[in-house]
Chains A and B, each alone.
Chain A
Amino acid sequence: MNARRVDVHCYVGGYPFRHVPHPEPAILARVNEREGLHSAWVGHLPSAFWRDPTLGNEELYAQLAPHASRLRPVPAIRPDWPRWQVALANARTQEAPAVRAYPQLWGLQGEDARLVRMANACGEAGMALLLTVRFEDLRQRHPMDVAGDLPAATVRELVRRARNSRVIVAGAGREWIREVHWGLTPAEQERVLYDISWIWGPPEDHLAGLMREIGAGRLCFGTGWPLRLTQTPAANLELLPEELMPAMLADVELFAAG
């Protein structure tokens, strides 16, 4: 069954605010094989903090090419910059399953028409839009890391307006997820998935509670590598109460393709 375990929340490359050991694609491929993951949707971590992610995307495509069967590129595209449509077309050529955006780092709100247009364009091209709530715990952030978390309101507003979009949210906790999920219509809810990398397990059992509350089919697998240990979400699934095992998470490939 591990054949379908896909990590949607991982990156290659360094992080501006602390040393990250070995964030190279070859290491990621080896870790994923060790942990029994089928494949990974991989972003370029430095690009999140660059004004123009274009060169980062080129690096990403080149770095992942030798690992194409297991590591799929997820480029970052700024909808508020010119020629984002070209970048999106490139992403499609590179068989990217999704596109990353960082509205909180780029000063964009959920109702921003440019973001809405790109979210729709991704959906129409058979790609998900991948948003990241946080990279690090709030309590350990560098004094220069002041952008804050992605607000739940941004995602609610974006999903309401971009009706052709399919959005995957990485790094959200339970309350954040509940705030988005129950602020959407049933049809809108179907267009959002949340990765489990930042959801607590026992004894508070946030993951189990969310599975009961919104359904395991709204959740998908993600790790936060190379910032966080790959082993955590798998451990979380293995510690679910018996009645929730085997947990049934969403198939992200099918979700993205629509």
Chain B
Amino acid sequence: MLVEWPAAEAPLASTEPLIDVHAHFLHAGCGRSDWSDVNRARLRAGERMGITCHVASILGSWGHGSPVYFPSPRDVEAGNDAMLDLQRTYERQVRGYAVVNPNFAKHALGEIERRVAAGAVGIKLLASRRADDPLLDDIARAAAERQLPVLHHAWQHRTRYWPQQDASDATDIVRLAERHPRVRIILAHIGGGGDYQHTFHTVRDQANVYLDISGSGTDRGMLDAALEAVGPKRLLWGCDVTMETGLAKLRALTVMGMTPDEMSDIRWRNAARIFPDGTFPGIEQAKVSQ
């Protein structure tokens, strides 16, 4: 009645560097008793896959003290504190984004300054304010000054208001990118819900918008269409909250006829290019310029 499955031993995604630009962790203030199990599970699966670095964020209290996508300043701080603690604890494997809520503009700019000084390597914007809102301009300027990429949560083709978030789609994000051409914006999780084809048409010509391929969605044709729209130099590998889909997408990319160079770009080299120098000390900078 039962079928046995084989176990693998080598890293499932090979030993070449692999950077997850869209990871998350939890902390004790998230209201979940299993928060540390989930964190451990990410690190365990990352090691099994061969993830060199998880670039991660903690979204406030994940809804426990204030809404996930509208975190209060207090929850933003607690999440960022915990994120940077993890970065210090797992110095080799983990890097943190500074999460900010643009509705609290002064606080957001202060958080960016404090967290970057403490080691944050990018800015994470949620769905607290639409991406094209002028409130985001000062944050984008801060990102440009510090050469920080901005990972922006996205709903692929927002056709209506969704509860619990002021979701942005590619149209909103491109407007922000047009106003701030020096900022490298990562449009989050093309597999994270919505109509990704709309996104691909929208971002095609906006060179400072990158796509991260994370998300639970694994539609056939999605990766082909993303590559066709923006090419391998604007795609970034990531998992978000489903790591098996990240591994599956890597495997799908390998059978899509990509060159080893293009695979390296998506696996790690694009990330190494857009994050600040020294973000990934385990990865030789020389390789980046190849």
Binding site for B on A (CB under 8 A): 1-2, 4-5, 18-21, 34, 136-137, 139-140, 200-205, 207, 216-217, 225-229, 231-239, 241, 245-251, 254-255
CB interface residues, B 237-289, toward A, < 8 Å: 241-245, 247-249, 251-252, 255
Q: How far is the CB of A156 from chain B (nearest CB, A)?
A: 23
Nearest chain A residue, comparing its CB with the CB of B8 = A238
Expressed in whole angstroms, the Cα–Cα distance for A250 and B218 within the complex equals 24
Q: In the bound complex, do residue B242 and residue A225 qualify as a contact, i.e. CB atoms below 8 Å apart?
A: no
B218/A200 in contact, CB under 8 A: no
Chain B 192-229, CB-CB to A under 8 Å as 1, else 0, gives 01111100000000000000000011111100100000
Contact B243 A248 (CB under 8 A): no
Residue contact A1 to B242, C-beta cutoff 8 Å = no
- On chain B, which size bracket covers the interface? 35 or more
Contacts of B216 in A (CB 8 A): 137, 200
A231 close to B251 (CB less than 8 A): yes
Interfacial chain B residues near A202, Cβ < 8 Å: 41-42, 44-45, 243-244
Q: Shortest Cβ distance from A134 into chain B, in angstroms?
A: 12
Cβ distance A36 to chain B, nearest Cβ, rounded Å: 10
The answer to whether B5 and A203 have CB atoms under 8 Å apart is: no
A203 lies within 8 A of B2 (CB): no
Nearest Cβ on chain A to B20's Cβ, whole angstroms:
11
- Whether B7 is near chain A, meaning CB under 8 Å from some CB there, is yes
Chain B residues contacting A216 (CB-CB under 8 Å) are 2
Given A201-B45, A239-B49, do A226 and B244 touch, yes or no (CB 8 Å)? no
Whether B117 is near chain A, meaning CB under 8 Å from some CB there, is no
Given contacts A205-B41, A216-B2, 4 further A-B contacts (CB under 8 A): A137-B193, A137-B217, A204-B242, A228-B218
Q: List 22 A-B contacts (CB under 8 A).
A: A1-B6, A4-B3, A18-B219, A21-B220, A137-B216, A139-B194, A140-B193, A140-B196, A200-B241, A203-B45, A205-B41, A217-B2, A225-B220, A229-B252, A231-B218, A232-B248, A233-B244, A239-B12, A246-B5, A249-B2, A249-B5, A255-B1
Contact B41 A203 (CB under 8 A): yes
Q: Chain A's nearest CB lies how many Å from the CB of B256?
A: 11
Instruction: Please name all residues of chain B whose beta carbon is closer than 8 Å to the beta carbon of A21 when the two chains form the complex.
Output: 220-221, 224
Asked whether A248 lies within 8 Å of B39 as measured between CB atoms, the reply is: no
From A21, which residue of chain B is reached at the shortest CB distance? B221
Is B156 part of the contact surface with A, judged by Cβ < 8 Å? yes
B residues whose Cβ falls under 8 Å from a Cβ of A = 1-8, 12, 37-39, 41-42, 44-45, 48-49, 155-156, 193-197, 216-221, 224, 241-245, 247-249, 251-252, 255
Task: State the CA gap A81–B128 with chains docked (Å).
Answer: 51
B23 shortest CB reach to chain A, Å: 9
Cα–Cα distance between A140 and B195 once the two chains are bound (Å) = 5
In the complex, how many angstroms separate the beta carbon of B93 from the nearest chain A beta carbon?
13
Give the contacting residue for B242; candidates A201, A217, A238, A245; CB below 8 A. A201
Return chain B residues, CB-CB under 8 Å to A140. Answer: 156, 193-196, 217
Inter-subunit contact B244/A217 (CB<8 Å):
no
> Complex: how many Å from CA A43 to CA B220?
17
- Provide the bound-state CA to CA distance between A2 and B221, in Å: 26
A200-B244, A203-B243, A205-B41 given; A245·B193 CB < 8 A: no
**Within 8 Å CB of B1, what residues of A?**
217, 250-251, 254-255
**Whole-angstrom distance between the alpha carbons of A242 and B58 in the complex?**
27
Q: Given A21-B220, A235-B12, are A248 and B241 neighbors across the interface (CB < 8 Å)? A: no
* Residue pair A246, B4 in contact (C-beta under 8 Å): yes
Instruction: State in angstroms the CA–CA spacing of A250 and B1 once bound together.
Output: 6
Contact between B5 and A248 (Cβ–Cβ < 8 Å)?
yes
Contact between A204 and B241 (Cβ–Cβ < 8 Å)? Answer: yes
- Distance (whole angstroms) from the CB of A28 to the closest CB of chain B: 11
* B44-A139 in contact (CB<8A): no
Specify which of A20, A201, A235 is in contact with B221 (CB 8 Å cutoff): A20
Contact of B38 among A204, A232, A245 (CB under 8 A): A204
Task: Output the nearest chain B residue to A239 by Cβ-Cβ distance.
Answer: B45
Most buried by A among B193, B241, B242, B255: B242
